[in-house]
Amino acid sequence: MAEVYDQLMADAPYSEWVSLTQKIINQYHPDIQSILDLGCGTGEITCRLSEAGFQLTGVDLSEEMLSLAAQKSPGTKINWLHQDIRELKGLENFDCIVSFCDVLNYITTEEDLQRVFKNAYHSLTDSGLFIFDVHSLHHIQDHLLGETFAEVYDDISYIWLCDPGDMNDTVVHDLTFFLQSEDVYERFDEQHVQRGYSVSEIERQITSAGFQLLNICSDFKLDGSRDGDRLFFICQK
């Protein structure tokens, strides 16, 4: 999917993620210099935060995604690392950790989610910030489950089916792509599984990992609302 990811995400609100991150940093910890991006993908947010003057390290499980990210950042000091965020190694003393674009919805067990939170805690400096987002439960239940999405472009088309998973509050994304290669279209398929968590469960997990929860907001608005499709959690070590 790395090959077509940026094309499919061309309209993603990357600037809003960066703007919100800067607002949170200015409000809660204006001295932040170094940022660790967990689940950085092809590096769109990572590169923008680097351009804003921060020292960036991007971590992702996909070597293909990281390769594309590195191609976007020649001459920069961004450090790209191939690691599983459930098993972080050698990463410490970061002023801030971010994990955006519903990366943590891909962590589908409570045990693994706690491991991610503890890894983040141990990778931060004292008073460091951990900022992440997730799809809200109502978004998964009301806007994804049972839905079908499709797009047709000149060189790529896709069909995206969203079905309930075996566990409660999980959604299975079955994606079929048709990618133009010269004068024919090649098909490839991927399956992704995500899980939604209640706010209370995330709060419990955050506290158990040692964090103080500073604020929850939604849909890129730093106003304390919890009614949106995308929830943001702001935590401090």
Domains of the chain, first to last: 2-136+197-236 (3.40.50.150), 138-195 (2.20.25.110)
pLDDT number for residue 96? 98
Q: Could you tell me what percent of the chain has a pLDDT over 90?
A: 87
Residue 118 pLDDT greater than 80, yes or no: yes
pLDDT number for residue 8? 84
Q: Which of 233, 227, 16 is nearest to 137 (CA)?
A: 227
For the segment 194-224, what is each residue's pLDDT rounded down to a tens digit? 999 999 999 999 999 999 999 999 999 999 8
> What sign does the dihedral 145-170-201-206 (CA atoms) show?
negative
Name the burial class of residue 175, with classes exposed (0-12), middle (13-18) and buried (19+) by CB atoms within 10 angstroms of its CB: middle
Residue 7 pLDDT greater than 90, yes or no: no
pLDDT number for residue 146? 96
More confident residue, 3 or 22: 22
Q: Please indicate, yes or no, whether the overall pTM of this predicted structure exceeds 0.75.
A: yes
Residue 188 pLDDT greater than 80, yes or no: yes
- Mean pLDDT across the stretch 59-76? 94
**Residue pair 99/38 in contact by the 8 Å Cβ criterion:** yes
Name the burial class of residue 189, with classes exposed (0-12), middle (13-18) and buried (19+) by CB atoms within 10 angstroms of its CB: exposed
Residue 67 pLDDT greater than 80, yes or no: yes
Burial code (b: 16+ CB inside 10 Å, e: under 16) for 89-119 equals: eebeebbbbbbbbbbbbebbeeebbbbbbbb
16 falls in which pLDDT band (50, 70, 90)? very high
Residue 78 DSSP one-character state: P
pLDDT number for residue 176? 96
Q: Which of 102, 181, 161 is nearest to 134 (CA)?
A: 102
Distance CA 237, CA 234 (A): 10
For the segment 137-172, what is each residue's pLDDT rounded down to a tens digit? 999 999 999 999 999 988 899 999 999 999 989 999
pLDDT number for residue 173? 97
**Coil, strand, or helix at residue 138?**
helix
52 falls in which pLDDT band (50, 70, 90)? very high
Give the mean pLDDT of the chain: 95
2 falls in which pLDDT band (50, 70, 90)? confident
pLDDT number for residue 38? 98
181 falls in which pLDDT band (50, 70, 90)? confident
Residue 1 pLDDT greater than 80, yes or no: no
